[in-house]
Chains A and B, each alone.
Chain A
């Protein structure tokens, strides 16, 4: 491109465009394989991995997990031990996963024809940055745990306005902490009227059947999308 020495140059480019192109490719692969894909987002320690262990015990080889952390393979090892395949992305510093990283992980997992019906991407623990990055998923699932408090939803509108499912986790701690579920749900619905809400304890199993039923229906629906690979 020949650029003059001075003057104005139009660029008109979306900053997220590159990520969105990778996300579109991921989405195409996921749909062609008839898989249902979730992007699981929460702050560190809200219970994402414990939830995935419970899901792995139920779904086994029908589920694959892409783990995102700054460092260590701890979470992938926990999921593998519980019965599902997992690929660990170590970002080395990035506070969120992006679609290019997830695309490479998907290639390594080699999902088409593997029997996997459910792909869960466990994002880096962070209530802010992951919300802006489309990874190619079908739905974003946000987790808010009882110890975090019922006043957090409106503090993080970018995430809670974009999720399809809100999981209120660690309900086994209700007797020990003050958490007003109605308030948290109402505030989430004020940003996101269509959001589905489940209150769960992955530790005791409380509420998990309802969440599993939702996943089963969604995965069944997704399997009808299966087609030839691009």
Chain B
């Protein structure tokens, strides 16, 4: 049930930035391939959590960039989509991870049909 609590972390961040729940059209997140987060599991949970938290039924758009690495043996820069690839030139697994572990809420698109709260 881990991606469920992660989905709640995402909706919590959104609600804090917006000053409360708002109906949304879209939520844009980035999940790096070395972050340990499963995009499929997150999708499974997110719709229900967003609805329950008053964010409506936003589309969850997940950007999945490749990881950027620098080989510490031959200095080659390379990219990969998984944990297992070594340097394409020398095969070494000694590497510096430049990007690839990120997991961010990037932006949201507001539902211009109005917010999710009663007008006071």
A→B interface (CB under 8 Å): 1, 3-16, 18, 93-96, 128-129, 131-132, 154, 157-158, 161, 189-194
Contacts and interface: CB of A to CB of B under 8 A. Distances in A.
Interface residues of B, number: 37
A8 B94 CA distance: 40
Contacts of B1: 93, 95
26 contacts: A1-B17, A1-B18, A3-B19, A3-B110, A6-B110, A7-B109, A7-B112, A8-B108, A8-B109, A8-B110, A9-B110, A11-B105, A11-B106, A12-B105, A12-B106, A13-B104, A15-B13, A15-B104, A94-B5, A132-B37, A157-B84, A158-B36, A161-B83, A191-B84, A192-B93, A193-B93
Complex A-B, nearest 10 residue pairs according to Cβ-Cβ distance, in ascending order: A6-B112, A158-B36, A157-B83, A132-B36, A11-B105, A15-B103, A129-B2, A10-B107, A193-B94, A6-B110
Given A94-B5, A132-B36, A12 B104 contact: yes
B6 A15 contact: yes
B9 interface: yes
Interface in B1-50: 1-2, 5-6, 9-10, 13-14, 17-19, 22, 29, 34-37
Given A4-B110, A131-B36, A158 B105 contact: no
Contacts, number: 91
A5 B93 contact: no
A154 B94 contact: no
A157 B93 CA distance: 13
Contacts of B37: 132
A180 B36 CA distance: 27
B35 A132 contact: yes
Contacts of B111: 6
Max chain A C-beta neighbours (<10 A), residue from B6, B110, B111: B110
Contacts of A12: 104-107
B113 to A, nearest CB: 9
Given A5-B114, A10-B107, 4 more contacts: A9-B107, A11-B106, A15-B103, A190-B84
Contacts of B86: 190
